[in-house]
Amino acid sequence: MTDTTTLSVEELTQIVTRIFSQNGLSALQAEAVAAVIVAGERDACKSHGIYRIEGCLQTVRAGKVAPQAEPELIDDGSALLRVDAKGAFSPAAFAIGAPVLAQRAKDQGIAALAINSCTHFSALWPEVEALTGMGLAALAMCPSYSTVAPAGGTQPLLGTNPLAFGWPRPDHPPYVFDFATSVAARGEIELHRRAGKPIPEGWAIGPDGTPTTDPEDALAGAMLTFGGHKGSAISTMIELLAGAMIGDLTSPEALDYLGTTSLSPHHGELVIAFSPEKFAAGRGGDPFSRAELLFSAILGQGARLPSQRRFSARETSLRSGIRLSAAEMAMLNEFLAAA
């Protein structure tokens, strides 16, 4: 426990940005990717923290991302914006599109950002949080690659297809959720396998299509959606809206394209932004303070808001820095030296 290093968010950001710059990422991509990875580490989301650096670099080395691509904004003045990522990492495409999306939502009430042809590895909460910081509510979704069976099915087809939502809260971190539409993450099944433990019932089916609690079987078979047929329907909606509709790869197509689930998938993403101020205009009552009544009622009966643990870890990190183990520091130094 004494063998740890404490870095400020800024210090860690500089290190991670340097790693990506030295590995061939453009300044925009290096900064945008480093920002989401450090945000994960800062919020004690270890699975989206510096652990992700290696996967990103592998994807670069495999030639499955375009590290120097400059994402291009396509804007015809309508409520629909597009960023063609041209193979870049998605956070760089979002960075280009987000300010325009925010302004368009304020003007139009609602606006959408379709990100196309990106390489995607990050959580969606940094994006919806960024939009809440501009006073907007936001919904984000994307496919991934086929590892989940549709309800009643027997084979992997859908992705873990995350859905994220954010709502701005004055004087509080935003209301934010971001979850996979599978019951569990693939990584959780992998952890059970390594620990030699059975997985809970309802997480997965084996290659023969029947329910299994054996992690090996589950990894060779398919995961299940959360909430049975309802989660399956939502996951299918995500394939349609953030795949077929935006002219980008669905999860089965993304798996075909990449040929493996071990690199970051290439596909698109859909972000919808809402201006609560414009939606509520003329109706009387402030939408943000009315939302606080709902949050108070949730908290008042002992329930939690999503992301509370993450926000409290963030507070600690911002106050006291991010503590990394000796192994983590060694990993960072190795990435710096290897480049």
Residues 159-188 that bind a second copy (CB under 8 A): 163, 165, 167, 175, 177, 179
Question: Which one is catalytic: 10, 47, 201, 320?
Answer: 47
Q: Is the dihedral of CA 25, 28, 29, 35 positive or negative?
A: positive
94 binds a second copy (CB under 8 A): no
Contact call for residues 130 and 250 (beta carbons, < 8 A): no
Applying CB under 8 A, which of residues 116, 119, 122, 161 lies at the interface with a second copy? 116
Question: Which one is catalytic: 26, 31, 41, 48?
Answer: 48
Q: CA-CA-CA-CA torsion for 193, 196, 197, 198, nearest 10 degrees?
A: 60
Question: Which one is catalytic: 129, 188, 253, 269?
Answer: 188
CB of 295 to a second copy, least distance (A): 9
State which of positions 235-254 bind a second copy (CB under 8 A). Answer: 236-237, 239-241, 243-248, 250, 252
Applying CB under 8 A, which of residues 1, 2, 3, 152 lies at the interface with a second copy? 152
Applying CB under 8 A, which of residues 27, 63, 99, 297 lies at the interface with a second copy? 297
Residues 6+ apart with CB under 8 A from 320: 6
Candidates 24-32, 37-45, 51-59, 223-231: pick the segment binding a second copy (CB under 8 A): 223-231
207 binds a second copy (CB under 8 A): no
- Residue 56 tokens read as 């990103």
Examine the residue annotation and report whether 48 is marked as an active-site residue of this protein: yes
What three-state secondary structure class fits 21? Answer: helix
* Torsion angles phi and psi, residue 37, rounded to 5: -70, -40
Applying CB under 8 A, which of residues 49, 91, 173, 231 lies at the interface with a second copy? 231
**161 closest CA partner among 176, 189, 177, 182:** 182
Beta bridge partners of 80: 112
